[in-house]
Amino acid sequence: MRSIEIFSGAGGLALGLEGAGFESVALVERNRDACATLRLNRPCWNVIEADIREIDFRSFGAVDLVAGGPPCQPFSMGGKANGYEDHRDMFPQAVRAVRELRPGAFLFENVRGLLRPAFSNYVEYIKLQFMYPDFPISKNASWEVNLQRLQKHSNSAKPASELRYNVSIQLADAANYGVPQHRHRVFFVGFRSDLESKWFFPSPTHTEAELWRAQFSEATYWKEHGLKVPSYPGPALRPQLQQTVIPGLFAGPARWRTVRDAMAGLGDPGVKSVWQNHVFQPGAKSYPGHTGSPLDEPAKALKAGDHGVPGGENMMRYPDGTVRYFTVRESARIQTFPDNYIFSGSWTESMRQLGNAVPVALAEAVASSIASHLQPYGRRSHLQSAR
């Protein structure tokens, strides 16, 4: 099955699509360093360094899936949250890609800040545009007026020939899918209505309860890492987990993965490290509310600031309270990139790429679920536009 990805960044989503069996037709990205990273790791990929607004998607031919991560800054809790008033809002370009390519399915992701009440009407506007990508949006009217027009259209009788998609919006924590990091992402997934696909977001494969069982009930976690079992039970068990963490109980899903799990085998960073991108970065400091990620929990979400790594972020915290920055290689592991995937650019630029990336394992879980629903339809899933 063929896919096109827009707003590709450093390739987290692209690797997930690759792992799910999609053949990349093109990856569109405007950031030079991110494009260099893509080309360095996958010379066979058709990386197009360009402004998305200049791309004619019809030139790529038929595809089964359109995917991408429109810039998150307009909706990020760490940014100014100007939303639809931010010039970086590229959801209209994502809708255009769907309209011109008419794929069997699409997959777009963004930050959970998009689901804040302040953006609820605009999220409805985005969803309705994805549902009816051929609907003409008036450039002479505000988005609120266009939303009303779309709502009216959605409630009216529609011709059978109209291009329509069944759209789902799902919030997911990457830690629940094998990623050693709490990273909440919103997914917009749509299937073309003629495919009649009853799709559901994949169920979590990893749980907090299983981590607590491994650490404080059966103590297998510490033995896995060659450590002595702590003499104290750690933080008090959360009430909702107390009855779940029972020794000898039948095994459920896998446990959450931790920072310590992600770092296994890397060793301390240094200039002479055998691992690429694994170099110590000085200057890490704790701030109130920004104290780094504990070793024995999933990491806090990696951040990507406009002017480098934000203060107090992207750090690991040792049991004695000291902190240091994650190296690029450690951050790549936290984002579940393979160890042979190399990042181009300075530490600051590499961390920005990683802070903007989709965790590979989460991307693959969602993409694999979509692929399994597209396969039965064969060539019907990449319906070419008649225009």
Flag the least confident range among 36-40, 171-175, 213-217: 213-217
Give the pLDDT band of residue 376 (cuts 50, 70, 90).
confident
Whether residue 179 sits in one domain with residue 36? yes
What's residue 72's pLDDT? 52
Shared domain check, 45 and 9: yes
Domain of residue 170, residue span:
2-204+358-381
pLDDT for the residue 308: 63
Report residue 3's pLDDT band, with 50, 70 and 90 as the boundaries: very high
Out of 34-38, 80-84, 106-110, 279-283, pick the least confident: 80-84
Q: What is the CATH number of the domain that holds 273?
A: 3.90.120
pLDDT recorded at residue 289: 81
**Domain assignment present for 152:** yes
Domain check: are 281 and 318 in the same one? yes
pLDDT of the residue at 252: 60
28 and 168 inside one domain: yes
pLDDT at 307: 59
Q: Are residues 31 and 132 in the same domain?
A: yes
Averaged pLDDT for residues 77-81: 42
Residue with tokens 């255009």: 96
The mean pLDDT of 229-246, rounded to a whole number, is: 55
Query: 349 and 365, same structural domain?
Result: no
Residue 35: active-site member: no
Cα–Cα distance between 10 and 29 in angstroms, integer?
Answer: 9
Domain total for the chain?
2
Three-state SS annotation for the chain? CEEEEECCCCCHHHHHHHHCCCEEEEEEECCHHHHHHHHHHCCCCCEEECCHHHCCHHHHCCCCEEEECCCCCCCCCCCCCCHHHCCCCCHHHHHHHHHHHCECEEEEEEEHHHHCHHHHHHHHHHHHHHHCCCCCCCCCCCHHHHHHHHHHHHCCCCCCCCCCEEEEEEEEEHHHHCCCECCEEEEEEEEEHHHCCCCCCCCCCEEHHHHHHHHHHCCHHHHHCCCCCCCCCCCCCCHHHHCCCCCCCCCCCEECCCHHHHHCCCCCCCCCCCCCCCCCCCCCCCECCECCEECCCCECCCCCCCCCCCCCCCEEECCCCCEEECCHHHHHHHCCCCCCCCCCCCHHHHHHHHHHCCCHHHHHHHHHHHHHHHHHHHHHHECCCCC
Active-site entry in 27, 48, 72, 105: 72
How does residue 81 score in pLDDT terms, banded at 50, 70 and 90?
very low
Average pLDDT over residues 60-66: 95
Please indicate whether residue 245 or residue 341 has the higher confidence score (pLDDT). Answer: 341
| 362 and 352 both lie in a single domain | no
pTM, rounded to two decimals: 0.89
pLDDT digits (tens, 9 = 90+) for 116-134: 898 899 999 999 999 999 9
> What's the CATH code of the domain at 369?
3.40.50.150
pLDDT of residue 145: 92
For residues 160 and 195, membership in a common domain is answered with: yes
The CA distance from 104 to 377, in Å, is 9
Mean pLDDT of 200-220: 93
- Whole-number pLDDT of residue 345: 83
**Range in 63-72, 223-232, 248-257, 330-339 the model is least confident about:** 248-257
- Shared domain for 195 and 233, answered yes or no, is no
Measured distance CA(330)–CA(350) in Å, rounded: 12
The CA distance from 190 to 164, in Å, is: 9
**What's the pLDDT score for residue 368?**
97
